[in-house]
Amino acid sequence: MATAPASLVFCSPPVAHIPLLDRIGPVAAAGFDAISLQPGDVWELEERGMSAQEIAARIADTGLTVAEVDCAANWMPRHETAGSSDPSLTELLRSLTAARVVETAARIGARSVVAIDLSPSPPTLDEAAEGFARLCDLADAHGLKAHIEFLPVSAIRSLGDAWAIVEAAGRANGGLTIDAWHFFRSGSTLAELAAIPGERIHTIQLCDAPAAPAADLWAELMTARLLPGEGALDLPGLIRTLDAIGSTAPFGTEVFNTRQTSQPLDQIARDWAGATRAALAQARGNA
């Protein structure tokens, strides 16, 4: 089922340690309309004998839809050989092939797939565009969208980098993920965003952060993001710009913070939903 434009999405990666079937009830109860999944959420249950149809039915029973599967990380030839200092991370990234992730998204009834590039150096535009075009074609065969999520700590570091790839790929179902932390920490600007057609924004992820970045951006990314409204990022400007360009992409919440390790999921979900709805209302003059 497609995610409606007004949907509020719970982005699962920060709570991936909580089994999917234990996750969906509290997320729905907090007022979210949809949930993003990681491929492993589905693969783990399938390995235990549950079919994708059964998983999708359990999710639907709570009233949730599946927004996107996050993420494909092996969609260029370079990804087959790229490594890191962490062998387990390397193995995981290589397992997240375009075909496998798209097929998983299709089985589970997702709306779209996310693409990231954690290889150690930036790809050429031709290489990235060719790989992303292939991912888009695989997704399109199942009626899905595909979108690049740029990260300032990755090989595709900024809005400009990601948008150049999307344009060069030339696929109608290809677009962008706009994550607030990645957007502002990468030095991307609202003027750049304002020049992009709203229909090419496929998903949005909100969080907040202090005005000054931490010395270790990776650590801040994974452990110290804040709820919308707790930090100093220009979330009102970001939301208003997205509205102004006609984006109808669902707004999601994705907050990696170590304080959540001691919090029950129902509290996390309520906090995320409340903070995100307040940020949207404030930006739109409804607070």
Structure tokens at 9: 């999405």
One digit per residue, pLDDT tens: the chain, 287 residues? 445 445 899 999 999 999 999 999 999 999 999 999 999 999 999 999 999 999 999 999 999 999 999 999 999 999 988 767 778 888 999 999 999 999 999 999 999 999 999 998 999 999 999 999 999 999 999 999 999 999 999 999 999 999 999 999 999 999 999 999 999 999 999 999 999 999 999 999 999 999 999 999 999 999 999 999 999 999 999 999 999 999 999 999 999 999 999 999 999 999 999 999 999 999 999 86
Confidence at residue 89, expressed as pLDDT on a 0 to 100 scale: 86
Helix (H) or strand (E) holding 190: helix 190-194
Q: What is the model's pLDDT at position 287?
A: 62
Cβ neighbours of residue 77 closer than 8 Å, sequence gap 6 or more: 127, 131
Give the predicted TM-score (pTM) of the model.
0.95
Return the structure tokens found at 49.
């004998």
> What's the pLDDT at 1?
43
The answer to whether the beta carbons of residues 34 and 10 sit under 8 Å apart is yes
Q: What is the pLDDT of residue 4?
A: 45
pLDDT of residue 117: 97
Q: Which of 45, 34, 47, 41 is nearest to 70 (CA)?
A: 41
Secondary structure element (H or E) that encloses residue 165, with its range? helix 159-169
Radius of gyration of the chain (CA): 18
| Structure letter (DSSP) for residue 122 | P
d(CA 220, CA 13): 15
